C-alpha cells in the first residue's frame, strides 16, 4: 500500500475550520484531550535567561501547524524551581520574560487547552527550604528530593501554587508528575504516627525482614490515595473547572479502582517497544476515565548515549497502539533551557497530529467488544511488587508476555482487573490467568462459578490456585508443537486448561514463535469461534470495538525493527504488511464495509451470519468499519 499523501492533505484542509472552534479554552473538558504536545525542562537553581529566546510568533507558528487540542508546558519540575514568576513557590533566578504568559495568550487565542507540567511529591527545593516537609528514609536520613505526603507541603505550598496557576494564568489543567512512581515508605514522625493509628500497632517495620513489612507498604499506598483525594478536592474547590491528573495513577503502576477525583488518566512511556505500549494502553483503557499516553519524541543510540529525534513513522506506530484502545495521545518534546521551543520538531509533530486526527472518528472513546479477558490482578500485583507503586515486577511482566503472545496470534484482548470483572466476567468467552502467585479467595470463587456456568479459563503456571477445578489426577497432555504440559478438565458446563510451565516471561524475553503457536492452539480449543479472525500475517495486531452504530476492526502493523547506523544511531523501520489479510466477522449483515480513514468500499460476502472480505495489507494503522 502507498501512503495516501494527497488524501491526507485534503482531509487536513477539510478539518482546519474545526480545530480552533472545537472547544473554547475556557470550557475545555477532559474528553477534549485527544492529541497534545508536552513540553518541559525541569528548571533548576542554576537555570538562567528563561524566556530570552522564546518568541510569540514561534509559539503561534507551532500551534497553527501542529494544531494540538492542548499543550502541556513546564511550570515546576522535580528540582522544585518554577519557570514562571511565582509569588508562592521558588522562581528561577533569571526570568527574562514570562513563558507561561506567552503560552496562555497564544493557546487562548486558538481555543487550545493549556496544562501545567507540575512536579508533586518530588520537590528538592521545598525539602531544602523546609526540612520538616521532607520524607525520611528507613535509616532516619532525610530524602533530599521527595516531600512527605503526611506533612504540611500539600496545604502550605503545593495546593496554593496550583491555585496561583489557576487564578493568574487560567490554565485548563495540571499534569502532576513525580508522584506514585516516585513514592517510597516514609518514616517521618507524622508518617509513623499515622501508621500506628492506622494499624493499632506500636512497632514500625523498616525492611522486608520485619514483620508487617507488606502491611506498611499497603499503608503507604492507602495514604497516597488519601493524599491524592485531598489535594485534588482542594484545587477543585478553588476552581471546579480545573482538569487534574497524577502521572501514572490508577495504571499498571497503581492498579485498583479509581477512588480519587482525578479527571483523567495519563502516563509517559520511556520504552516504546510494542509490548510495553500495548500493555500500558490496555491497563488504562477499562478504568472508566478519559485517558491518554505520552510517547517521548526522542531516544538514545544503541549504547544509551546521544539524543536523537524519533521519526514521525515511529511515533505514528505508537499512536496507533494507543488510539486502537480508545485513548488519546501526546508527544513529549523537551523545551530548551530558556523555555523556548525546539522548532525543528514542528514538521514531525504536524505529520503525527494529522495521522491521529484522520482516525479520531473511528477510535477515540470507542467501546471494546468482549473477547479474550487477560487478568491484571490488583491483589497479585501488590503481593509481588517490591516497591510501593511500580510496574516492572514479575507479575506484570508475565501479563505483558502473555498479552504479546495473544496479540501476535491476532486475538482481540482486554487487560482487566478484578473490579472490572466483578459484574462482567460472564460476557467474556475466555479468561486467561498468568503465573500470579496469589489471588484473593473471593476472586478464585468467582472464577470457579464462571467456569461452572460455562466459561473457559486458561491458567498459566502450576495451577495451585485452582485445585478445586483441577484435581491432582487430571491427565496431562503434551500433544502440542512446543511439548508443553497441558492439563484440561471439564468443570460444570465449562472447561479449565492449565499450562504447567512459566512460559509468559520466556516469551516476552525471546519471542519464541513455537511457544506462541502452541499457546494459540490451546486457546483455539477453548475459544473456537472468536468474533473476528484475521489471517495473512502474524505481524498485525487486532482490536475489535464499537463506536456509534459501527463495528470497528483495528489493524496495526507491528513489523518494526531498528537498523544501527554507522554512528550507532537507531534507525526505525516499519516495512508495510503487503500480504492480503483475510478477515471474517460474525455479525448482523452490514450495510457496507469501509476501510478507514480513506473511506474505501470493501467488497464482502455474507453467509450464515458471517461477513468475509479481504484488505490489501496494512501500512501503519488501518481501520475496517462495518456500517449498520
485: CATH: 3.40.50.880
Query: Could you tell me if residue 571 is inside a domain?
Result: yes
Query: Could you tell me if residue 152 is inside a domain?
Result: yes
The Cα–Cα gap between 221 and 195 comes to 12
**Average pLDDT of the segment spanning 109-117:** 98
Strand partners, 118: 76, 176
Tell whether 359 and 414 lie within a shared domain. no
pLDDT (0 to 100) of residue 9: 36
Listed residues 526, 557, 590: the one ending a domain: 526
Tell whether 420 and 522 lie within a shared domain. yes
Please, which pLDDT band fits residue 18 given cuts at 50, 70 and 90?
very low
Tell whether 458 and 546 lie within a shared domain. no
Tell whether 539 and 522 lie within a shared domain. no
Are the C-beta atoms of 224 and 178 separated by less than 8 Å?
no
pLDDT (0 to 100) of residue 293: 98
Please, which pLDDT band fits residue 4 given cuts at 50, 70 and 90?
very low
Listed residues 327, 348, 365: the one ending a domain: 365
Tell whether 482 and 513 lie within a shared domain. yes
Instruction: Assign residue 282 the CATH number of its domain.
Output: 3.20.20.80
3-class secondary structure per residue, 336-386: CCCCCCCHHHHHHHHHHHHHHHHHHHHHCCCEECCCEEEECCHHHHHHHCC
Listed residues 492, 526, 560: the one ending a domain: 526
Q: What's the whole-number average pLDDT of the chain?
A: 95
Tell whether 522 and 566 lie within a shared domain. no
- Tell me: the pLDDT tens digits for 57-84? 999 999 999 999 999 999 999 999 999 9
Tell whether 476 and 602 lie within a shared domain. no
- Tell me: the pLDDT tens digits for 403-433? 999 999 999 999 999 999 999 999 999 999 9
Strand partners, 115: 72, 173
Given a cut of 80, is residue 118 above it in pLDDT?
A: yes
**Which of 509-515's residues contact partners 24+ apart within 8 Å by CB, and which partners?**
509/401, 511/404, 512/482, 513/538, 514/481, 514/482, 515/405, 515/482, 515/484
Query: Could you tell me if residue 14 is inside a domain?
Result: no
3-class secondary structure per residue, 59-99: HHHHHHHHCCCEEEEEEECCCCEECCCCCCCEECCCECCCH
The Cα–Cα gap between 538 and 559 comes to 9
pLDDT (0 to 100) of residue 544: 98
Nearest to 67, CA basis, from 17, 5, 8, 4: 17
Query: Could you tell me if residue 348 is inside a domain?
Result: yes
Instruction: Assign residue 584 the CATH number of its domain.
Output: 2.60.40.1180
Residue with the bigger pLDDT between 16 and 540: it is 540
**Average pLDDT of the segment spanning 361-365:** 98
**Average pLDDT of the segment spanning 76-105:** 98
- Tell me: the pLDDT tens digits for 273-319? 999 999 999 999 999 999 999 999 999 999 999 999 999 999 999 99
Q: Is 579 exposed, middle or buried (0-12, 13-18, 19+ CB in 10 A)?
A: middle
- Tell me: the pLDDT tens digits for 158-189? 999 999 999 999 999 999 999 999 999 999 99
Please, which pLDDT band fits residue 462 given cuts at 50, 70 and 90?
confident
Query: Could you tell me if residue 405 is inside a domain?
Result: yes
Task: Compute CA distances 351 → 315, 319, 460, whole Å.
Answer: 10, 12, 42
Nearest to 144, CA basis, from 136, 152, 153: 136
The Cα–Cα gap between 363 and 528 comes to 27
Tell whether 374 and 361 lie within a shared domain. no
User: How many domains does one find in the chain?
Assistant: 3
CA 63 to chain centre: 25
- Tell me: the pLDDT tens digits for 331-341? 999 999 999 99
Query: Could you tell me if residue 19 is inside a domain?
Result: no
Please, which pLDDT band fits residue 272 given cuts at 50, 70 and 90?
confident
Please, which pLDDT band fits residue 2 given cuts at 50, 70 and 90?
very low
- Tell me: the pLDDT tens digits for 593-606? 999 999 999 999 99
Distance between first and last Cα of the chain: 27
Query: Could you tell me if residue 15 is inside a domain?
Result: no
Tell whether 418 and 347 lie within a shared domain. no
Please, which pLDDT band fits residue 8 given cuts at 50, 70 and 90?
very low
Neighbours of 57 (CB within 10 A): 8
Tell whether 135 and 210 lie within a shared domain. yes
By percentage, how much of the chain surpasses pLDDT 70? Answer: 96
Tell whether 514 and 558 lie within a shared domain. no
Query: Could you tell me if residue 17 is inside a domain?
Result: no
- Tell me: the pLDDT tens digits for 198-209? 999 999 999 999
Are the C-beta atoms of 223 and 189 separated by less than 8 Å?
no
pLDDT (0 to 100) of residue 609: 98
Domain of residue 147: give its range: 5-9+28-365
Please, which pLDDT band fits residue 3 given cuts at 50, 70 and 90?
very low
Please, which pLDDT band fits residue 581 given cuts at 50, 70 and 90?
very high
- Lowest mean per-residue pLDDT among 18-22, 149-153, 299-303, 528-532: 18-22
Beta strand 486-491 pairing with 134-136: unpaired
The Cα–Cα gap between 55 and 599 comes to 40
pLDDT (0 to 100) of residue 24: 61
Q: What is the DSSP letter of 199?
A: H
Given a cut of 80, is residue 21 above it in pLDDT?
A: no
Please, which pLDDT band fits residue 7 given cuts at 50, 70 and 90?
very low
The Cα–Cα gap between 122 and 246 comes to 12
Please, which pLDDT band fits residue 26 given cuts at 50, 70 and 90?
confident
Tell whether 118 and 243 lie within a shared domain. yes
CA atoms within 13 A on the CB side of 319: 33
| pTM above threshold 0.85 | yes
- Tell me: the pLDDT tens digits for 34-57? 999 999 999 999 999 999 999 999
Q: What is the DSSP letter of 171?
A: -
Amino acid at each position: 500500500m502507498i501512503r495516501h499523501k494527497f488524501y491526507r492533505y485534503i482531509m487536513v484542509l477539510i478539518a482546519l475550520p474545526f480545530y480552533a472552534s472545537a472547544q473554547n479554552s475556557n470550557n475545555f473538558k477532559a474528553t477534549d484531550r485527544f492529541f497534545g504536545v508536552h513540553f518541559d525542562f525541569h528548571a533548576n537553581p542554576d537555570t538562567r535567561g528563561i524566556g530570552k529566546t522564546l518568541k510569540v510568533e514561534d509559539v503561534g507558528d507551532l500551534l497553527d501547524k501542529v494544531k494540538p487540542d492542548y499543550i502541556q508546558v513546564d511550570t515546576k519540575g522535580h528540582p522544585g524551581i518554577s519557570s514562571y514568576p511565582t509569588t508562592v513557590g521558588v522562581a528561577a533566578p533569571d526570568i527574562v520574560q514570562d513563558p507561561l504568559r506567552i503560552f496562555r495568550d497564544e493557546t487562548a487565542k486558538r481555543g487550545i487547552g493549556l496544562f501545567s507540567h507540575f512536579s508533586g511529591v518530588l520537590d528538592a527545593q521545598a525539602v531544602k527550604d523546609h526540612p520538616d516537609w521532607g520524607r525520611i528514609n528507613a535509616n532516619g536520613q532525610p530524602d533530599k528530593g521527595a516531600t512527605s505526603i503526611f506533612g504540611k507541603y500539600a496545604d502550605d505550598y503545593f495546593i496554593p501554587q496550583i491555585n496561583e496557576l489557576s487564578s493568574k494564568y487560567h490554565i485548563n489543567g495540571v499534569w502532576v508528575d513525580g508522584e506514585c512512581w516516585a513514592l517510597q515508605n516514609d518514616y517521618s514522625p507524622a508518617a509513623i504516627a499515622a501508621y500506628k493509628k492506622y494499624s493499632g500497632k506500636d512497632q514500625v517495620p523498616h525492611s522486608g525482614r520485619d514483620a508487617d513489612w507488606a502491611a506498611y507498604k499497603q499503608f503507604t499506598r492507602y495514604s497516597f490515595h488519601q493524599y491524592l483525594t485531598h489535594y485534588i478536592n482542594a484545587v477543585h474547590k478553588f476552581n471546579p473547572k480545573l482538569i487534574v491528573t497524577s502521572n501514572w495513577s490508577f495504571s499498571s503502576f497503581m492498579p485498583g479502582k479509581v477512588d480519587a477525583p482525578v479527571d483523567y488518566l495519563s502516563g509517559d512511556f520511556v520504552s516504546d517497544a510494542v509490548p510495553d505500549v500495548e500493555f500500558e494502553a490496555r491497563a488504562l483503557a477499562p478504568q472508566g476515565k478519559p485517558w491518554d499516553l505520552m510517547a517521548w519524541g526522542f531516544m538514545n543510540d544503541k549504547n544509551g548515549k546521544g539524543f536523537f529525534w524519533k521519526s514521525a513513522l515511529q511515533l505514528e506506530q505508537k499512536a496507533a497502539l494507543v488510539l486502537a484502545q480508545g485513548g488519546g495521545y501526546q508527544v513529549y518534546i523537551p523545551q530548551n533551557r530558556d523555555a523556548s521551543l525546539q522548532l525543528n520538531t514542528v514538521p514531525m509533530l504536524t505529520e503525527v497530529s494529522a495521522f491521529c486526527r484522520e482516525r479520531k472518528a473511528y477510535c477515540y472513546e470507542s467501546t471494546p467488544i468482549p473477547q479474550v479477558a487477560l487478568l491484571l490482578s490488583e491483589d497479585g500485583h501488590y503481593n509481588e511488587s517490591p516497591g510501593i507503586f511500580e510496574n516492572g515486577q514479575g507479575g506484570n511482566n508475565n501479563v505483558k508476555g502473555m498479552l504479546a503472545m495473544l496479540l501476535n496470534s491476532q486475538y482481540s484482548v482486554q487487560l482487566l482487573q478484578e473490579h472490572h470483572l466483578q459484574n462482567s466476567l460472564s460476557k467474556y468467552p475466555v479468561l486467561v490467568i498468568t503465573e500470579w502467585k496469589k489471588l484473593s479467595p473471593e476472586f478464585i470463587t468467582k472464577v470457579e462459578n464462571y467456569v461452572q456456568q460455562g466459561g473457559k479459563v486458561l491458567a498459566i503456571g502450576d495451577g495451585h490456585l485452582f485445585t478445586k477445578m483441577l484435581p491432582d489426577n487430571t491427565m496431562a497432555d503434551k500433544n502440542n508443537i512446543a511439548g508443553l504440559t497441558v492439563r484440561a478438565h471439564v468443570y460444570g458446563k465449562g472447561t479449565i486448561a492449565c499450562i504447567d510451565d512459566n512460559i509468559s516471561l520466556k516469551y516476552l524475553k525471546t519471542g519464541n514463535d513455537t511457544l506462541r503457536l502452541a499457546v494459540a492452539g490451546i486457546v483455539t480449543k477453548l475459544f473456537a469461534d472468536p468474533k473476528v479472525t484475521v489471517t495473512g500475517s502474524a505481524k498485525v495486531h487486532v482490536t475489535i470495538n464499537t463506536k456509534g452504530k459501527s463495528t470497528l476492526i483495528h489493524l496495526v502493523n507491528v513489523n518494526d525493527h531498528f537498523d544501527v547506523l554507522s554512528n550507532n544511531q537507531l534507525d526505525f523501520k516499519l516495512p508495510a504488511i503487503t500480504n492480503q489479510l483475510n478477515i471474517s466477522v460474525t455479525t448482523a449483515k452490514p450495510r457496507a464495509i469501509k476501510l478507514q480513514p480513506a473511506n474505501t468500499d470493501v467488497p464482502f460476502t455474507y453467509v450464515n451470519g458471517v461477513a468475509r472480505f479481504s484488505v490489501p495489507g496494512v501500512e501503519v494503522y488501518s481501520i475496517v468499519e462495518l456500517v449498520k
